[in-house]
Amino acid sequence: MTTISCNIPFGVVQHPNFVAFMAKYTNRVVPSRFTLTRSMESKSPVILSKIKEEVEGKDIFMALDETTDPLQRSMTAVLIGPLDGHFLGRPYLINLEDVKKADNETMTNVAVSSIRNVFGSEFQRERLKIFITDGAAYCIKAAENLRDHYPRMIHVTCLAHGLNRGTWIKAVDYYASHFEIVRDFVNGLEDTKHSIERAKTVINEESLHNEIKFINQHMDKLRIAIACLEERLPLLTSATIVENLLCEITIEPFKSKSKEIIEKNTGYIELRELAEQAQDEGSVHFIFRNAPIVNCDAERVFSMMKTVNTPKRTKLTPQHIKQIMLIRWNSEFGGKA
């Protein structure tokens, strides 16, 4: 499925120039879009079967997140990975579904049906140990509902999402470094709009530059911590980053807000305590050793989806998008899927 892996639209495959190019340089006949579509549809179950084999007999974690696509569809990504004390790779994408409406009941059903679709009815409920979402109220309620199905499950709200002020911190860092250039640019604009007049007033306030430098100096630690958490790290390493951050942030209201976010995340606290206990006991077989506490891979799925689900490709159905993404995302796992 090279065409899918390279994100070549099936409509392009039938273009005479593309057909001629492939015939000239590869000496091969390009399959029709209908052949490619049938191949794509048959590949998706094979991928899910291989994912099942990868995690067979192991406890698993699940990550779930939702976004809105260009057609205003509520697309929900479901990823899983093994909890074996060793796995630090990207989780496997097992579902990408238009849920119509993002609420707790829908998210509960998507999570349950995704597991059933991969593992069948014989899935042992105790195997799902961790469920990761953002901190939205409907996600928290969905996690409560899921405990009826998976009683050993620990719900973790994504710490990167919870602490994330990264976008504006990066903006502050930019303005702190380029303040004079930005101010000169704004002052050079013609006063044709009220917004421009307002921008000039704000940027020429004497206190603004000092406030930007103050925020940049004291909050850059948060940006760095979030960047570290976005990478797959051992659980205890990630927990240490979080605890160090709470000690290093000293200005209010950021210190109190960060502490409040962590204290509400009871799933994270439980995992941290388990990791500390395992370290004290010198436990070798600790399945949560590399357990994730962030849900950044779902965001990466959505970023990849944007290159597939563009406004120009209006004929792609949600099912087509799911099949394409299952192939594209999972094909990067060493060819195993």
> Which string of DSSP letters, residue by residue, matches 140-209?
HHHHHHHTTT-TT-EEEE-HHHHH--HHHHHHHHHHHHSHHHHHHHHHTS-S-SHHHHHHHHHHT-HHHH
Among residues 290, 262, 320, the alpha carbon closest in space to that of 89 is found at 290
Instruction: Dihedral sign for Cα 148, 103, 238, 231, please.
Output: positive
- pLDDT tens for the chain, 337 residues: list them: 677 777 777 777 778 888 888 888 888 887 877 888 888 888 889 999 999 999 999 999 999 999 988 888 899 999 999 999 999 889 999 999 999 888 999 999 999 999 999 999 889 999 999 999 998 999 999 999 999 999 999 999 998 877 765 557 778 888 888 999 999 999 998 888 889 989 999 999 989 988 888 888 777 788 888 888 888 899 999 999 999 988 888 888 878 888 888 999 999 999 999 999 998 887 767 899 999 999 999 999 999 998 888 877 777 888 989 999 999 999 755 344 4
Averaged pLDDT of the chain: 88
- Report strand pairing: 128-133 vs 59-68: parallel
Measured in whole angstroms, the distance separating CA 190 from the mean position of its chain's CA atoms is 42
Closest CA to 64 of 261, 235, 266, 295: 295
Amino acid identity, position 146: L
Cβ proximity of 295 and 65 under 8 Å:
yes
Identify whether the C-beta of residue 256 lies closer than 8 Å to the C-beta of residue 236: no
pLDDT tens digits for range 296-307 = 999 999 999 988
| Residue 79 near residue 132 (C-beta atoms within 8 A) | no
- Please tell me the distance from the alpha carbon of residue 125 to that of residue 148, in angstroms, as a whole number: 10
User: Rounded to 5, what percent of the chain is helix, strand, coil?
Assistant: 60, 10, 30
- Give helix 137-146 / helix 104-119 axis angle, nearest 10°: 50
Q: What pLDDT score does 21 carry?
A: 84
Closest CA to 163 of 32, 295, 65: 295
C-alpha to C-alpha distance for 197 and 177, rounded to whole angstroms? 23
What is the predicted pLDDT for the residue at 165? 56
- pLDDT for residue 334: 39
Quote the pTM value.
0.82
**Residue whose C-alpha is closest to residue 157's, from 128, 175, 126, 136:** 136
- Give the start-to-end residue ranges of the domains of the chain: 166-173+210-268
For residue 321, what are the contacts with CB-CB under 8 A and spacing of at least 6?
Answer: 69, 75, 96, 305, 308, 309
Supply the pLDDT for residue 31: 80
Which of 187-197 are b and which e, b meaning 16 or more Cβ less than 10 Å from the residue's Cβ?
eeeeeeeeeee
Q: What is the pLDDT of residue 149?
A: 94
pLDDT in tens, 241-252: 999 988 888 888
Contact 314, 330 (CB under 8 A): no
- CA 258 – CA 252 distance, rounded (Å): 10
Rounded Cα gap, residues 139 and 278, in angstroms: 29
pLDDT of residue 146: 96
Q: What is the pLDDT of residue 336?
A: 43
How does DSSP classify residue 98? Answer: E
In this prediction, residue 167 carries a pLDDT of 57
Angle between helix axes 33-54 and 318-330 (nearest 10 degrees) is 60
Q: In this predicted structure, what is the pLDDT of residue 109?
A: 96
